[in-house]
Amino acid sequence: MTETLESIAQAMVASGKGILAADESSGTIKKRFDSINVESTADSRRDYREMLFRTEEAMKKYISGVILYDETIRQKAKDGTPLVDLIRKAGSIPGIKVDTGATDMPGFPGEKITEGLDGLGKRLAEYYDLGARFAKWRAVIDIAAGIPTRTCLEANAEALARYAALCQQAKIVPIVEPEVLMDGGHDIDRCFEVTEETLRILFDRLAAHRVRLEGTVLKPNMVIAGKKCGKQASAEEVAEKTIACFKRTVPASIPGIVFLSGGQSDEDATAHLNAMNAIGGFPWKMSFSYGRALQAAPLKAWSGETQNVPAGQKAFLHRAKMNGLATLGDWKAALEKAA
């Protein structure tokens, strides 16, 4: 079959599967390694990620694609096999993070703008040659008193749309990620309001830049209360409000929505996704593109020791399988059956 943007996007959201976000920047992976007292070096980062990509059952059955960082897409496994080939051999698609991070937005205290457009066309062509068939760009929207401003939402949406257009020109499927953070003390309704406005502006800019939605994947936050909010919503409320928000704002031509976990516990991230798919009745696939919610358990089980690789792989397989079940709305029933 000839590969098209549409066919890649469809494969990224294949039934029962989701995406492993393993594109932590050097700064972020250092924080993760600090938590297990492991020094972050090119070799330790390679060993850790090689462990994940060699978890054959998880990769083959539950992981449709892996988002890589610039260093990783160029790295080789201990035996000399490019890491990209490990991913491809497992039938999964390599992807690449291409933004260069979010920086303070001048004139807008507390708000961030994501950078990385300069020279992006050339970088995408190189990533395509290295095997990437999809990319990711993350915008960060914080909720606090008086923010986000419309200017911040518009500037970030414009950058996401320009990135997406460049990706499609390079035959790479863009994952557009406007992340409304869950760090604040806001309630779920405020998250709804901000997510709704963020998505409305984003799809307006995507249309303006002639981005083909059939070849685009959306990576949003769920509609959820801030971590510091005293009133946390039930899984059913998160699911209902997230679906309602997206029905208002996300065109049906988008093949799939893959959520970020954003600091939710492993189990919450699975329960919320499962609740949405159990409700159903929407035109898109609803799946995952989790970083922390897939990796926290394997990272801890591994803790930098070669002898712990089987334990790390077992932990990764478990989370991948639970989230795979959640994409079908079958997680809760499987849990009850196992109990």
Distance CA 178, CA 101 (A): 13
Identify whether the C-beta of residue 152 lies closer than 8 Å to the C-beta of residue 140.
no
Closest of 215, 208, 231, 224 to residue 261, by C-alpha: 224
Among 95, 262, 298, 324, binds ligand 13P (CB under 6 A): 262
Q: Residue 93's closest CA among 168, 12, 29?
A: 12
Candidates 191-199, 204-212, 257-265, 324-332: pick the segment binding ligand 13P (CB under 6 A).
257-265
Query: Out of 158, 177, 179, 285, which one is annotated catalytic?
Result: 177
Q: Quote the CA–CA distance of 166 and 170 in Å, as a whole number.
A: 6
Residue 12: phi, psi to the nearest 5? Answer: -65, -25
**186-245 residues near ligand 13P, rule: CB under 6 A:** none
What are the tokens at 203? Answer: 């799809």
Applying CB under 6 A, among 55, 168, 242, 261 the residue interacting with ligand 13P is 261
- Using the minimum distance from each CB to ligand 13P, give the nearer residue, 62 or 290: 290
219 is catalytic: yes
User: Could you say whether residue 290 binds ligand 13P (CB under 6 A)?
Assistant: yes
Q: Which position among 18, 226, 291, 312 is part of the footprint of ligand 13P (CB under 6 A)?
A: 291
174 binds ligand 13P (CB under 6 A): no
If binding is defined by CB under 6 A, does position 21 make contact with ligand 13P? yes
Tell the smallest beta-carbon distance from residue 89 to ligand 13P (Å).
23
CA distance 216 to 209: 13
Q: Which is nearer to ligand 13P, 139 or 152 (CB)?
A: 139
Q: Which stretch binds ligand 13P (CB under 6 A): 30-38, 125-133, 201-209, 288-296?
A: 288-296
For residue 267, give the H/E element and its range: helix 266-279
Q: Annotated catalytic, 179?
A: no
Min CB(98)–ligand 13P separation in Å: 12
Q: Name the segment binding ligand 13P (CB under 6 A); options: 47-55, 207-215, 258-266, 303-311.
A: 258-266
Binds ligand 13P (CB under 6 A): choice among 63, 180, 254, 293: 293
Point out which residues pair with 76 in neighbouring strands.
Answer: 82
CA gap 18, 40 in Å, rounded: 27
Please list the alpha-helical segments (H only) found in 179-265: 188-208, 235-249
Reading the block at residue 326, the tokens are 């959640």
Which residues make up the interface to ligand 13P (CB under 6 A)?
21, 138, 177, 260-262, 290-293
Catalytic sites, residue numbers: 177, 219
